[in-house]
Structure 1
Amino acid sequence: MALVHLDALYRTALRLTHNRADAEDVVQETFLRGFRSFDRFNPGTNCRAWLFTILRNVFLNRIRREGREVPESEPAWDSSRESATAPAAASANPEEEFFQTVLHGDVDRALKALPLPFREAVVLVDLEGLSYREAAEVLGCPLGTVMSRLSRGRHLLRQALARFAREHGYMKEGE
C-alpha cells in the first residue's frame, strides 16, 4: 500500500532537500516512521496524504535538529546545484533531449528559488498530483491557504521562467 508512493515521495524529498543522499535519508525515515505508527493509520483514509505529511515533518525536524533555518528559497539559476531529476536518457530526437536536459533543469532551478511554503504547494499539487484538499492535509493548513500559496508560487515561477527566457533569447523584451 505504501510502496506505490515511493517514487513520488523521493521526488518530493529531492525537491525539498536538493541533495540525493539527504532525500534518500528523508524517505527512509518517512517509511520507518510510517511503519512504526501504522497502528495509528485509519484504514480507508488517504495513505498518500498520510505519507506526505510524515515526509514533510521528517524534513522540517531534520532541519531544526541540524540547527539550520528552514530554507525559504534557494538562489535562482544556480547551475552548481543538483537537478531534482535524473539525467535524461539519450534520445534520437535532439529537440526532445534539449527540453529534457536544458529546460527541465531551468524549471527545477526556478522551483528551488521559490520560498518553501510556495514550493511545497507547487510540488504537491502540480508535480505530484495531490488534490488541493490532500495538499491542505499534508501541509496542515486551510484549503484557501493552499490555493493562495499555489497561485503565488505559479506566479513567481512564471516570472522567473519568463526572465530566463528573455535573457537567453527565447522571448523578446516586452513579451
Structure 2
Amino acid sequence: MEFEEEEEFVESKPRYSETEKYRIFDKEFMPHIDSMYNFAFRLTNDEDDANDLVQDTYMKAFRFINSFQEGTNAKAWLFRILKNSFINDYRKKSKEPSKVDYQEVETVYNSTEDAEFESTSDLRIEAVQDMIGDEVAMALNGLPVDFRTVIILCDIEGFTYEEMAKILDIPIGTVRSRLHRARNLLKEKLRSYAKSMGYKELR
C-alpha cells in the first residue's frame, strides 16, 4: 500500500497558521534531520538517494503538518513518513513490490514470536550503537531491508517497540519477532568479527 494521501496525513482543516507551521517545522522537525539522514542512508546505501529521501520526507512533513499534533513524538512521525516514502520509491524503481513487504516476514517467521527473546544476543552493545568498524557497517547493510530497518530503529535510534509498531504499521508482537530474527542474522554475520575484537559470545 503506497504512502499517498493516507488517512492519518490527510488535512481536514487548517490547524496552524502559516507562521505556526514554520515555527513547528523548525522546532519539532529540523532537530531530527541528522537522524533522518542516517536512517535514509542505511536504507538506501547511497548518499544522493538518502539526500533525496530526506528532502522528500521533509516536503511531505510540511505538506501534512496540520495532521501533526505539536508536542507529540515528531521523530517517530517523521520516521514513518520516511519509511513509507522509501518503500514506495523502492517499489517504483525495482518494479518488484514484493521485495519490500513489511507484512510478508510475519508469515515466514511467525513461529519465532513465542521464542525466548531473552536468549537472543542483545546487540545494543557499543559495537552496534557506535557502528565501529567497516565489518559492522557491511554486516548491517547486508541484511534484508525488513530486518535492517528494525535494527536501525531499535538498537541505533532507540525507538520503543510501541513506537516501532506505529512507524512500521505492524503489531508489537511482529516487531519483537522481526527484531529477534534480525539480531540473530546480524549476530551470525558478526560472529568472526566479534571474536577478533575480543567480545565473548552471549549464551
State TM-score, norm by structure 2: 0.64
Pairs within 5 Å for 1:7-156: 7-69=34-96, 70=99, 103-156=132-185
What residue identity is the alignment partner of 2:147?
Answer: F
Name 2:18's counterpart in structure 1.
none
Name 1:95's counterpart in structure 2.
none
CA RMSD of aligned residues (A): 2.4
Q: Distance in 1 between matches of 2:95 and 2:157?
A: 27
- Measure how far apart 1:164 and its partner are: 4.5
- Measure how far apart 1:147 and its partner are: 1.1
List, as ranges, runs of 4+ consecutive aligned residues in structure 1 with deviation greater than 4 Å: none
- Measure how far apart 1:45 and its partner are: 2.7
Amino-acid identity (%): 41
Q: Distance in 2 between matches of 1:53 and 1:112?
A: 20
Structure 2 runs not aligned, ≥5 long: 1-27, 102-129
What residue identity is the alignment partner of 1:58?
Answer: S
- Measure how far apart 1:108 and its partner are: 1.0
Name 2:23's counterpart in structure 1.
none
Q: How many residue pairs align between the two structures? A: 143
Instruction: Tell whether the 8 Å contact from 2:100 to 2:146 is kept in structure 1 after alignment.
Output: no
Q: Distance in 1 between matches of 2:44 and 2:94?
A: 15
- Measure how far apart 1:136 and its partner are: 0.9
- Measure how far apart 1:67 and its partner are: 3.5
Name 2:16's counterpart in structure 1.
none
State TM-score, norm by structure 1: 0.73
Deviates more, 1:41-50 or 1:16-25: 41-50
Deviates more, 1:18-27 or 1:125-134: 125-134
Confirm or deny that 1:159 pairs with 2:183. Answer: no
